[in-house]
Chains A and B, each alone.
Chain A
């Protein structure tokens, strides 16, 4: 397919997507399940893609996504609560120490930067060691940061264990779609750059990658920091979606949810992560809700259906995916215009991908 046609079709598709979201919001209403799924799905898509950049494309296993989201969410909330409301929010801390507010978009970027800075702090010592240590270190980081942020002495900054609220949120699903869309596009561009290729080389064979002159430490750190940046941005979006932030919501189970999305979508497939995010959120927020509700048919209670059963079903799904469907929905393939064009024209891919 020619580059110009591809660009045109791509632009049309993106426009259609946004029009679709806009229309869905109009028709279904802003508080509908559909809009919830669209909003949360877009946010999770970004976070899953950021995790995939690390786990799927660089072959580094991190379990700290919730920690970096937490950092992003708090950064966003802390710096956007209007000065006039700070007295009420930080009621136990005399209004807190931050007495200014940043514009929303700037605060979202800052959320990413702070998360990235924490990642550098964790990564600098750990990434020189064998890769396995990263999983442990990031898991530890996520647990520690959750506790530290609620530490009373930090209250003037983080409001201790109290809620952060009354910061600006979004009122249309178009907002998370736009932010997540731009971020995912940037990640895709990175993956398709020479640095992305170096990361994939590290994933495939560290010894060979190093023999090709690739500095393992530097590229792993790069991937980890960028991944965490976007997890931080995702955390900021999640804070906006929820309307309030409290550290205890960012448990490791959140990381596992995202890991599940990445695995279901396919390690090393960006489009897979995006599809799986919407699928996962739709199931957990909407389609499978009934599993948690005690249901009676006549006077007979339907067995198994009670609070918590949904998670049991999820766990079974994870195991099924891992056992029988290890490559996920997309494997490491991507959903691209070229692929669709090929499928329609029935042509087999051949020759170099050299452009």
Chain B
């Protein structure tokens, strides 16, 4: 099985705050991997590094054979840097922009839902087909690309059907209930035709029934679109149910890794979560 995503020695430091500390992870093709940890552990920050929103302070991230980020502390960060391996990734820095990374095949959803608010559910998904266009501004403006336009619309509608929102296609995206907005974000991500899907707390805001259905749904789209899934989630039932492997991080550092059963009984994990509960 080949590795789809490899995160190597990544540290992300904001000023003096080390949000991710020397984190290494990998996700293999066809896996469902979960990333869990208490609030503020650095999970979303890890996703932001992978998708190019942030440039890691140090370390390397590769998608398949392609290095999408590689950097070492520079400038003011040289003095401030508090992480490890400061000398390991010298040399040319690599930073692909988020749109390039999406075009390579990594799509994501956002923890704090980011739908295009003035647009309908259908239009939200339709926009996500733009990146695979073959038209240029001239042919598109003159509507010479009718075949492509039809394909885009069909694909968008198909994705809406996939997540069960076909009936709400004409509704304003932000007028949908929370759980449906989450599913719309998934439809939008799928429309970019990804190989790797990053889900940031897909169950947040869903009611218990929706959460129950989500697990089966993630499995279903994984099989149907031959995806690899990397997911941040707080609902332990869901995580334990569908994950092949789990990474647990706390204060930006990995504290455990393994199959659901191993992780559940890991004392460090229990301590990290209990620590949070005691707050």
Chain B residues lying within 8 Å of A208, measured Cβ to Cβ, are 110, 114-116
Bits for A314-355, please: 1 = Cβ < 8 Å to B, else 0.
000000000000000000100000000000000001111111
**A212 B141 Cβ-Cβ under 8 A:** no
Known: A189-B143, A195-B140. A207 touches B53 (CB 8 A): yes
Chain B residues lying within 8 Å of A195, measured Cβ to Cβ, are 130, 137, 140-141
Known: A197-B130, A205-B117, A212-B102. A354 touches B137 (CB 8 A): no
Known: A211-B51, A213-B192. A186 touches B141 (CB 8 A): yes
| Cβ-based interface call for B222 (8 A) | no
**A332 B118 Cβ-Cβ under 8 A:** yes
| Cβ-based interface call for B127 (8 A) | yes
| Cβ-based interface call for B169 (8 A) | yes
Chain B residues lying within 8 Å of A209, measured Cβ to Cβ, are 116, 127
- B residues 33-90 in Cβ contact with A at 8 Å: 51, 53
Q: Chain A at the B interface: mostly helix, strand, loop or mixed?
A: helix
Chain B residues lying within 8 Å of A354, measured Cβ to Cβ, are 122, 153, 156-157, 169
**B156 A204 Cβ-Cβ under 8 A:** no
**Contact residue range for chain B?**
35 or more
Pick the contact of B99 from A197, A205, A216, A226 — CB < 8 Å? A216
| Cβ-based interface call for B197 (8 A) | no
- The distance in angstroms between the C-alpha atoms of A165 and B131, with both chains bound, is 48
Pick the contact of A198 from B107, B127, B141, B148 — CB < 8 Å? B127
Tell me how many residues of A have a C-beta within 8 Å of chain B: 34
Chain A residues lying within 8 Å of B119, measured Cβ to Cβ, are 200-201, 204
Pick the contact of B141 from A190, A197, A216 — CB < 8 Å? A190
Known: A200-B119, A350-B170, A351-B169. A207 touches B114 (CB 8 A): yes
| Cβ-based interface call for B188 (8 A) | yes
Chain A residue with the shortest CB-CB distance to B135:
A194
Pick the contact of A352 from B99, B127, B157 — CB < 8 Å? B157
Chain A residue with the shortest CB-CB distance to B98:
A210
| Cβ-based interface call for A222 (8 A) | yes
Bits for B118-159, please: 1 = Cβ < 8 Å to A, else 0.
111011001111111101010011110100110011001100
**B128 A213 Cβ-Cβ under 8 A:** yes
| Cβ-based interface call for B108 (8 A) | yes
**B98 A352 Cβ-Cβ under 8 A:** no
- The distance in angstroms between the C-alpha atoms of A190 and B142, with both chains bound, is 8
Most buried by B among A193, A211, A214, A350: A211
Chain B residues lying within 8 Å of A332, measured Cβ to Cβ, are 118
Chain A residue with the shortest CB-CB distance to B127:
A201
Chain B residues lying within 8 Å of A211, measured Cβ to Cβ, are 51, 53, 98-99, 102, 107-108, 110, 114
| Cβ-based interface call for A215 (8 A) | yes
Chain A residues lying within 8 Å of B266, measured Cβ to Cβ, are none
**A198 B170 Cβ-Cβ under 8 A:** no
Chain B residue with the shortest CB-CB distance to A355:
B153
Known: A198-B130, A204-B116. A210 touches B137 (CB 8 A): no
- The distance in angstroms between the C-alpha atoms of A200 and B115, with both chains bound, is 12
Known: A194-B135, A194-B152, A213-B102. A353 touches B120 (CB 8 A): yes
- The distance in angstroms between the C-alpha atoms of A189 and B145, with both chains bound, is 12
- The distance in angstroms between the C-alpha atoms of A211 and B102, with both chains bound, is 6
Chain A residues lying within 8 Å of B115, measured Cβ to Cβ, are 205, 208
Chain B residues lying within 8 Å of A268, measured Cβ to Cβ, are 118
**B99 A213 Cβ-Cβ under 8 A:** yes
- A residues 225-258 in Cβ contact with B at 8 Å: 226
CB proximity of B133 to chain A, nearest CB, Å: 6
Chain A residues lying within 8 Å of B166, measured Cβ to Cβ, are 352
Chain A residues lying within 8 Å of B175, measured Cβ to Cβ, are none
A residues near B, CB below 8 A? Answer: 186, 189-190, 193-195, 197-198, 200-201, 203-205, 207-216, 222, 226, 268, 332, 349-355
Question: What are the 9 closest A-B residue pairs judged by CB atoms, nearest first?
Answer: A213-B131, A352-B169, A213-B102, A193-B140, A204-B116, A208-B114, A210-B98, A190-B141, A201-B127
27 A-B residue pairs with Cβ-Cβ distance under 8 Å, sorted by A, are A189-B142, A190-B137, A193-B140, A195-B130, A198-B127, A201-B116, A204-B116, A205-B117, A211-B107, A211-B110, A211-B114, A212-B99, A212-B128, A212-B188, A213-B99, A213-B103, A213-B132, A214-B99, A214-B131, A215-B97, A216-B99, A349-B170, A352-B157, A353-B122, A353-B170, A354-B153, A354-B169
List 19 other contacts, CB 8 Å, given A204-B118, A211-B53, A350-B170. Answer: A190-B140, A194-B130, A194-B140, A194-B149, A195-B140, A197-B127, A197-B130, A201-B116, A207-B53, A209-B116, A209-B127, A210-B98, A211-B99, A211-B107, A212-B131, A213-B130, A214-B131, A351-B170, A354-B153
